[in-house]
Structures are given as structure tokens and as C-alpha cells.
Chains A and B, each alone.
Chain A
């Protein structure tokens, strides 16, 4: 054990300690450099003397989880050492400030709230797919990767000290009976000690969206756990009351995130991201029009019934249980048997996974609108006509509004726009028909073949069984 705390100028395991980014009572964070890792790095060093148990356990937790995470939405793990000598955790440093800095500028323009929210939701979806719930989503733990043009890139989530990994022992749950988290952002089920619900992160993001939209925290900043529990029965002031120009769709999204029962929130982070990027597709419920908090009778009723509401926790929804399914519909060449086979295939997915949502896609090839700007009369009417046909195609599926959306994509070939859409919207599964054995396939090649080869997700190619002549 070291005799003194490491400081700037020291070397720890080959890492040269530079500027201190944070020096707290329980841990320090330094910028570090290492000849073998030529990118910005930082190192977290917990202080052992007078060690606070919670601090040490959350350090252990982050040390266990971070090396198992991959992708652009988390800092890259570099090295770690345990408690034998000097414990540390070295990782990629994301340059630039966290969202904390933006708190001075609140409220933000609606468009920016949606953009930031969607980026964070995409990052959460990536995390949840790796079976990790962050459980401490707040402005200080959200950064953005810089892009070459200076715009804000992918959201990066940091600090996994309170996180839960679905397939590793939860040291925090074992060690402490009292819930850990950050009071203003903590989900109600977290306040009751439940740590395995990925949708707790959607609640926290809902608080953040509310804050960025209205400039206020929906549940204040309670100092005691008993006050945190109040959110189990007391609903927040609807955002539109505090900010009249908040569009109904945004209030719908925010208040849905803030539902007490996780099962009433968006089924997954990817679906929340989808809503924030496709406001026109958000199904409005009475939440969107709410202008005041619930009356005292309703609140009292909830207060009396609190043990019945969130704790029962229906099956936790992740991308596995609540996928976004894109069905590519070729309105021009589709035969009736193929249309039916395609619908049957989508119907099966929806039937098995009630949390799934469907994006119906049709690609409008440039040659159909050749020479016309997409905004002129002809281009517009072509698209409207396609939308009408797409809805007509999906009608027999009988999917309720809100679980299905319709999109006309454009491009010079069919595969590329489908692939781009799937990538940009976190689609989990593409369902599409095979082109019939025809001259066309010989000449143009197989769209489904190309999509299946290049898609970032599963692809089901549906073919109607040919009836023997």
C-alpha cells in the first residue's frame, strides 16, 4: 500500500500521471499517458485510507464491468489493478465537457433536447444489449465523442460504479441495503432497492429530458430517501405547463419515461430513441394533453397502493424482448402469396414479442421521380400514394397505432436506403420478401441477398412456396 496519495508527476504501472481532473475525498482522476496507448487516457485511483465501503465497492464494480463493455458508447478499457498494491482503472479519456455544462443554458430548444435525448437513448440501447443497466444516468455521466467537423458525435456513458451486469454478481446489492444512485434522477424501483431493471435508465433519461425542456427537475433534489420515494405516488408538473411551446409529442415521450411502473415506460431504449427521432410517429395519449398534476384523490390512492405498483416488475424489456422490426415492402412486384407470407412472418414476431414495434419501409427509387425535386407536386404525390399503399398493405396485420410506423425511403437502389435506415434507427430485425425468379432478379441482382449480407442485424427473407403446376 502506498505511503502517500499518487500525484501529478508520479508513475503508476507505466502510466505517467498528468493533470488532476478530479481530486475528491474518496478518489482522484488524472489525465495519464502511456507509450503503448497513443490516445487520450485517464486513470481513476480510489483512496484507500479511511476508505468508504461504498466507494470501494463501486470501484470494484466498475473494474468488473468496464473491461466487458465494447462499442463507441463507452470509454475504452485500457488497464486495471486490484487492491494488492495501488488499485487503479485506466481508460480512454473522452475530450470535452459532460452535459453538466449545459445546465447553465436551460431550457434548450426542443430540437436539441430531442437530438441529445436520442443520442443518449442510442448509447443506453447499446449498453442494455450488453446486459448492463447503468443506474446512474445524469448529465455529469454523459459525454460526446468529438467528430472531425466539430459537431457532437456519439454519446458516451461514463462511470459504471453503480451499474448492474445481468450475468455478474452484483456487489452493490450484496453489500448495501440502502439504494445507491443520484436522487433527482433515480427511478422509483431503484429507490425501493431493485437493481436489475434496464428501464430504470429510461426513467433517469426522462428526468434529464424534462430538465432540459423546462429548466426544472421533475421531482426536485430530495436530500433523504424518504423524499425520493415520493415519486412513487406524486406525478410531476406536466412539462407543457412550465413550457407552453413544448410540443405534445415531447411531453408524451417524457411523461412515458417517467411512468412509475417500468412496464408502462417505452419498452426499450432503442424504441425511445426511435420516438425522439420520429416525433411524427409518436402515438399521443392523454399524457400529451395533460396540463396539471393529478388530483389529491388519485395521488392518495397511489400512495395507499404503492407496494402494488412498480415492484412486481413484469419481465424486463431489452432489445431481445422488444425489438424494432423493419419490414421492407416492395409494392410494385409483390405477388399476393408473397404479401401474405410477409405479413404472416411479421405477425409471428409481433405475436411472440408483444413489446416489438414495426417500421414499414418502402423504397422510392430515384428513377420514379426522375428530374423532379422531391418537394415538387409530382414527387410529393408519389410519396403520398406510396404511404397510402403501405398502410393498406399493413392493414390486415391489425397492429394498433403506435406500434407501427410507415416510412418512404429514397435512393437509386433498394438495398442501400434499407441498410442505412436499419443502421440509423437501431433496427434489430429486417423482414423482407425475396424477388421472384424472374428476369428482373437476373438483371438487377437480389436486393434481399445484398441486405442479408450487409445488414447490422438479423434478416429474414420470406419466399412464398411455389405451388406445383
Chain B
């Protein structure tokens, strides 16, 4: 069982809750889909935790916020930019060196793990609807693409007739990503969900059955928000955690 965690965004409480949940659910492999840091108040702890998992065989790929740590001048909106300034101040130079080593994508059998749109991973394009999903499908030969970046769980399917469809997964319900169909699974965010559900999101993929489950895990939002406020980060980064917006 592969656990896929995306968009942790320095949310320690959400990350611990998801890792505990995945360990209990029997996950033996871990893929971190990028954006370990940014927005939240625990970048160093989250980074250390992911590095520790990597030492035990996990795979991590690069997200745009991770990249912004070592690449100044990246385009970011006001809140994200402010949070990034603060994040850099919290991380040691080693952190930047480590993040530089992360790849933009990870191919595993017929699966491709990538942070954003697969047709051009470094451009960090959002996969928000069938049109964007189609562009991603056309940009990779992988049968199943798994990405994050949008913070909203979705499943896009490409039919034999090349039609692209969108589906909103029900938490916990296994969905077979059956052959020969092609699929693009957008996992939700661990640390900053934006689909109206404040619970942390991650996904479990069973490579045997090709079934994927989008999980939702409640966590201590109060604590995560309080730390964001204490760090002096923009207030909206704290409040949005309560509503998942």
C-alpha cells in the first residue's frame, strides 16, 4: 500500500495525524508529492520528518514552495510570499541543499508522481478541471498520474474516446483506476485543504488492485492555527484552516 501525501505546508499537526493514520492503515511505501513547507508554522519539523521517512525508503518530489526556499525571485502571491520570507528564516542552509536534490517527478511502473500538471512540471500549472487534466494527460505516457498542488481532491479519467471526465471522490471509498483507461488523481492537501472540509487529506493506493482511496483525517486545527498566529504569519493562513478554504 502506497501512502501519498501532498501539500503538507509546514502543518505539523496535520502531517503527524496523516502519518499515524497511514501507518495504521498498513501503508508500507510513502510518496511525498511536494510543498512540504510554506504557509504553516512548522517547516523545520515537517522537513525533518519527511527526510527521516526518506531515509527509510520514502520518495519525495519537489513542490513550488520547496523550490522557492532556495530559488529567490519565484512568483508568489502576497500571503505566500510573506510566509516564504518567514519560512526561509526558520530553515538552516542544509534544508535548502536538501530541497535542491528533490526531483520534479517520480515514475514508478505505469504511474507518474508529480506536484502539478505533468506536461510541464516545473511550470507549476494547476489541474483544476478537465481541460487542464487533458493537457496533463497529453504530456505524459504514464497510465496513472498522481499530483497535488490544487489542494482539492479530484479524479480525472480519459476514456477510450479521448473524453476527459471529472469525479469528486468520496472519502474512504476505494475507486479502481482500472486498465486500459488513463487516470489523473489529484490528492487533497495534508496541511491546507481547500475543498470546504478542514480535515487533512491524503491518499492510499493499492498497487495490486489499483484501487485508490482519498482519506480525510481530523487533526488539531486549533494548535496549528495558534502557532501560525504566534509566528506572526498572515492571519488568513490561520483562519482558513478552520474552514478548509
Chain A residues near B155 (CB, 8 Å)? 169
Q: Which of B160-174 contact A (CB under 8 A)?
A: 160-161, 163, 165, 167, 170, 173
Find out whether the CB atom of B181 lies under 8 angstroms from the CB atom of A60.
yes
**A83 and B165 contact, Cβ closer than 8 Å, known pairs A168-B175, A169-B175:** no
CB of A284 within 8 Å of the partner chain: no
Q: Which of B171-186 contact A (CB under 8 A)?
A: 173, 175-176, 178-181
Find out whether the CB atom of A60 lies under 8 angstroms from the CB atom of B173.
no
Chain B residues near A63 (CB, 8 Å)? 178
B-facing mask of A48-69, CB < 8 A → 1, else 0?
A: 0000010011001001100000
Chain B: number of interface residues, binned into ranges: 10 to 19
Chain A residues near B157 (CB, 8 Å)? 169, 171, 174
CB of B16 within 8 Å of the partner chain: no
**A175 and B160 contact, Cβ closer than 8 Å, known pairs A167-B173, A169-B155, A169-B165:** yes
CB of B159 within 8 Å of the partner chain: yes
Q: Smallest CB–CB gap between A193 and chain B, Å?
A: 14
Q: Smallest CB–CB gap between A83 and chain B, Å?
A: 5
**A171 and B159 contact, Cβ closer than 8 Å, known pairs A60-B181, A64-B176, A82-B178:** yes
**Interface of chain A, main secondary structure:** helix
**Interface of chain B, main secondary structure:** loop
Q: Smallest CB–CB gap between B116 and chain A, Å?
A: 22
Please name 4 further chain A to chain B contacts, defined as beta carbons within 8 Å, in addition to the given A57-B159, A168-B175, sorted by A numbering.
A82-B178, A169-B167, A175-B159, A175-B160
CB of A84 within 8 Å of the partner chain: yes
Q: Which of B222-242 contact A (CB under 8 A)?
A: none
Bound-state CA distance A174–B164 (Å) is: 8
**A53 and B170 contact, Cβ closer than 8 Å, known pairs A82-B178, A84-B179, A169-B175:** no
Bound-state CA distance A56–B180 (Å) is: 11
Bound-state CA distance A180–B152 (Å) is: 32
Find out whether the CB atom of A168 lies under 8 angstroms from the CB atom of B178.
no
Nearest chain A residue, comparing its CB with the CB of B179 = A82
Find out whether the CB atom of B180 lies under 8 angstroms from the CB atom of A167.
no
A-facing mask of B133-170, CB < 8 A → 1, else 0?
A: 00000000000000000000001010111010101001
B-facing mask of A160-184, CB < 8 A → 1, else 0?
A: 0000000111110111000000000
Find out whether the CB atom of B178 lies under 8 angstroms from the CB atom of A64.
yes
